[in-house]
Amino acid sequence: MAKKTKSPKPRRDPKPSSKPAKAASRAGSNAGRGFRYQDAVSAWLAVEIWAGQRAPAIVIPEGGDDVELRGDAESFVQIKSRREHLGDYTEGETVGYIEDLWKRSLGSAPRPERLELVLEREVAGLVPFEDQPAVRSIKGSISARLSKLSEASDLLPRTSITVATSPQEWAISLIANRLGCAPIAAQMCFADLLVRVGSLADANGRLSPESYRGLSISDTETSIRDVLAAIDVDAIEQALREGVCEPVDFLTPLNDPNFYLGVDVEPGHLAAGLVSERPQSRSALVEGIEQRRAALIVGPSGAGKSALMWEVANTLSHTVRWFRIRRLSAADIPSLRQLVRTFRASEDSPLGFVMDDIGRNGPESWGALLKEAMSVPGVVLLGSVREEDVTLIAERARAAEI
């Protein structure tokens, strides 16, 4: 392979919209790797290539750009995340991102043949292709503005925009459908890929371009097969069968006509766009999880505790595998402990438990679970409780309170 010239590339920045949490035991650029949208996209790209939905290539996190795809046609992929309350990307923002992508490619030798911008949100004014719903056609005023840039006649036809709102969910669905395995098993496969992507990104930050390490199709296949061979789906599903917890679904909308009359907020209400965001409170809770790995929302009835709780969980859902605790007693702790072990929760691939109205559903056992979780790196907890019930919670000091 021809030796590549490494063009200046910014370090993996904090990107508050893409890296909302970190384990307290980690520091610097490694902190919170498991929560990064960029890593979720990298793992999704590897799954798409493995499934034959993209051309064969080696996925190189933190290569020539956020991701470099080395195959017959080399590609640079730049990845941008954005919180939902900020809305769609503007025309100017999108043009600026593509201009940066072009500059990076022009400074590389050899130059990549394809350039891709992956965005978490839609771009104002752009519509998807009928046969490729995630891809946006670059046309109209955005195309006109880009056409004025240097070497646009060569670069524009080789540039594409992809809107990846749910890379983790898409990858899990692709694995499950392709192999016919249980979705919960596919989750574990994706979690293992996240760990591999994170390790590669860390390594590549210290390497020269000719020494970059990546994930090949064979590597992805091996990772997935090894996970499926090692797991016991029955053991994983024990807590689910017993009704202790269930995976959280942030994708299926719940269009509830009675929502504004006063109902308990569910994840589906967020998917339906019924919940108003509270960015300041959300940021405070995210910070609490960063520092303590556990956060508790305390307030009176009707104050919007549930809505805020699900908003925070949704913010972290790109790579945190959230399970909702429906009921909790001391007798349920062993099955949850087994779930954590079987899922191999780690700082690179975190597992989260979320529990609404703790005072009603198990205040004493919440403390036991909190104590248990603190002994396992990569487990995070999020809950809500009424003011009058907060004194019932054991181990209360272990969690940040908002």
DSSP letter for each residue of 117-158? EEESS-BTT--B-SS-TTEE---HHHHHHHHTSTTHHHHGGG
Measure Cα distances from 46 to 70, 90, 106, 322, 369 in Å: 12, 29, 25, 23, 35
Query: Is the Cβ–Cβ distance between 395 and 367 less than 8 Å?
Result: yes
Domains detected in the chain:
28-226 (3.40.1350), 234-401 (3.40.50.300)
Q: Which pLDDT score, from 0 to 100, does residue 130 have?
A: 67
The CA distance from 344 to 377, in Å, is 10
Closest among 48, 37, 95, 51 to 75, alpha carbons compared = 48
Packing angle of the helix pair 37-50, 217-230 (nearest 10 deg): 100
Q: Which pLDDT score, from 0 to 100, does residue 366 have?
A: 87
End-to-end CA distance of the chain: 54
Closest among 384, 247, 260 to 310, alpha carbons compared = 384
Run means of pLDDT, 10 residues per run, the chain, 402 residues: 46 37 32 65 98 97 96 95 84 95 92 96 82 82 92 94 93 96 90 92 92 97 94 75 85 83 84 87 88 92 90 87 89 86 82 91 84 89 91 83 87
Residue type, 146: L
Q: Which pLDDT score, from 0 to 100, does residue 73 have?
A: 92
Scan for tokens 């609490």, then name that residue.
288
Query: Coil, strand or helix: which one is 364?
Result: helix
Query: Coil, strand or helix: which one is 256?
Result: coil
- The residues, ordered by sequence, that sit 6+ positions from 36 with a Cβ below 8 Å of its Cβ are 12, 15, 18, 19, 198, 318, 319
Residue type, 349: S
Half-sphere exposure of 45 (CA within 13 A, CB side): 32
Closest among 333, 164, 307, 318 to 245, alpha carbons compared = 333
The CA distance from 397 to 138, in Å, is 52
Q: Which pLDDT score, from 0 to 100, does residue 35 have?
A: 54
Residue-level length of the chain: 402
Output the furthest CA–CA distance in the chain (Å, rounded).
Answer: 67
- The residues, ordered by sequence, that sit 6+ positions from 380 with a Cβ below 8 Å of its Cβ are 21, 289, 293, 294, 316, 320, 350, 351, 352, 353, 373
Burial class (CB in 10 A: 0-12, 13-18, 19+), 213: middle
Q: Which pLDDT score, from 0 to 100, does residue 162 have?
A: 96
Query: Is the Cβ–Cβ distance between 172 and 325 less than 8 Å?
Result: no
The CA distance from 370 to 21, in Å, is 18
